[in-house]
Amino acid sequence: MKCTSFGPDGRWHTLPLTPHGRVGLAAAAKIAVALAVVATASCTTGERDVGTSAVYDSAGVTIIENPGLDRPLGIEVTPLADLIPPDSALTVVAQGVTVDEVTGRIFVADRPNDRVVVFEPSGMYVGTLGRSGDGPGEFRDPAAVSMDPSGSLVVWDNRRRILSRWSSGGDFLAEERPDLDYGGPGFAVGTDWLATVTVTAAGMAFERHLVIHREGDTTTLHEVTEEMAIMELAAGSIPAVRVFVPTVVWTNRGDSIFFLNGPEYRIDKSVDGALALSFRRSVDAIEVTQELAVRKIESGPGLYAAFMRQSGLEAEDIVTALGYEERIPPVMSVTAAPGGRFWVTRTLDGISPHAIDVFDPAGGYEGTFDAPGVPVAFVSDSTFLALRLEDFGETVLALHRFRRNEGSF
């Protein structure tokens, strides 16, 4: 038997015990209890090696450390098609894409145009769902999409504050008002639960909470704080978030919810509101410089670009006024992949995807391949959708085929 404790560096250490070990995860009761037990020293069955991974068990939580450098993974990616409707007007965000696992149909929320655009598994355009309006089957701000366990498409209309349900064939079914307000990014629907991100104001900051809600009960799984500063414009002063402000990165597979617990490379898994698994890689957080923060502002549209247009400020002025996060995660997204695996999109600069790490269902690292974009959904066992950023800040949703070379998995 060995006793281990959780150190302030985010890693597990063998005895002697240290006075450290508090996990910096604000969570509701179930997770708090689990983390409290893990953070204090506890007797376990000790470390065991699984391939190149080190696996620890404590208080029902499995911790998997994946040390070492990148291992090239034999995956060959071929671009197939960009998904573009006939009017060429489609604004895509990661949480606005989902796929019917049975038919392979692709649904894309187009917020500015109050519609959902539908494509065949081949990428061929099918049509649209909904229209602008305030009645059943109409949208004012379709912020995100998801599939429920019955195979229905669920659209979260942020402005109307409703969940709109559609058949995979495109028929409007019903709508309901959720008990939560949408803060984004994304949501997931289970048989008796709803998971999403909510936002609360806390002085000069916003707190984003990843929560799971069942009737009469809401559990916080994870939270991040978005610090703000005052931006001086010609028309007056307004608060704005710091550059590279952290956000919630998460996904789900069935009833299990996975989320980034950064800025280190650490993905935690929650089941029924309790921490059950944590897998990590020995990849350092990104140290942000002023130059990198300026490049972030210049990389695309958004709030900062609007400041520059309205006020005539340069990117350097905005960075000086708002400041920036000094350390950011090397992880951009986590995507549930075929075969129970996970694809974790990694970045070198916090702006563009660099590589994709593949993990087995238990959290063991299998290898890495070059990122063609940020994977957002899988259409089949051999095709996936990824977002890429064009030169002028436009995002394009593209269909790719991937092939595993023999022996790569």
Q: State the pLDDT confidence band at 51, using cuts at 50, 70 and 90.
A: low
pLDDT tens digits, residue range 325-359?
999 999 999 999 999 999 999 999 999 999 999 99
Examine residue 142 and say whether the peptide bond preceding it is cis (omega within 30 degrees of 0).
no
Q: State the pLDDT confidence band at 16, using cuts at 50, 70 and 90.
A: very low
Measured from the Cβ of residue 215, the count of other Cβ atoms closer than 10 Å reads 8
- The amino acid occupying position 12 is W
Instruction: State the chain's mean pLDDT as an integer.
Output: 86
Asked if 123 contacts 83 with a C-beta cutoff of 8 angstroms, the reply is: yes
What one-character DSSP code corresponds to residue 36? H
Q: What is the pLDDT of residue 100?
A: 96
Measured from the Cβ of residue 396, the count of other Cβ atoms closer than 10 Å reads 15
pLDDT tens digits, residue range 351-366?
999 999 999 999 999 9
**Helix 315-322 vs helix 303-311: crossing angle, to nearest 10:** 120
Domain spans of the chain? 2-66
Secondary structure (DSSP) of 37-50:
HHHS-EEES--EEE
Mean pLDDT of 3-11: 34
Secondary structure (DSSP) of 283-347:
-PPEEP-HHHHHHHHHTS-SHHHHHHHHH---HHHHHHHH-B-SEE-SEEEEEE-GGG-EEEEEE
Mean pLDDT of 296-315: 79
Q: What is the pLDDT of residue 406?
A: 67
pLDDT of residue 179 exceeding 60: yes
pLDDT tens digits, residue range 101-149?
999 999 999 999 999 999 999 999 999 999 999 999 999 999 999 999 9
Q: Which residues partner with 201 through β-bridges?
A: 206
In angstroms, the Cα distances linking 371 to 30, 83, 194, 406 are 36, 18, 31, 20
If one compares 122 and 300, the residue with the highest pLDDT of the two is 122
Mean pLDDT of 383-398: 89
pTM comes to: 0.85
